[in-house]
Amino acid sequence: MTESSMSTILSGLTDVTTALISVCTSLVTAVVSQPLLLVSVLMGMVGGGIALFKSLRHG
Residue 44 has a pLDDT of: 92
Q: Is residue 32 within 8 Å of residue 25, measured between CB atoms?
A: no
How far is 14 from 8, CA to CA, in rounded Å? 10
How far is 27 from 22, CA to CA, in rounded Å? 9
How far is 19 from 43, CA to CA, in rounded Å? 29
Residue 1 has a pLDDT of: 63
Residue 47 has a pLDDT of: 93
Residue 14 has a pLDDT of: 92
Residue 59 has a pLDDT of: 65
pLDDT in tens, 11-56: 989 999 999 999 989 888 887 888 888 788 889 999 999 998 999 8
Query: Mean of the pLDDT values across residues 1-8?
Result: 83
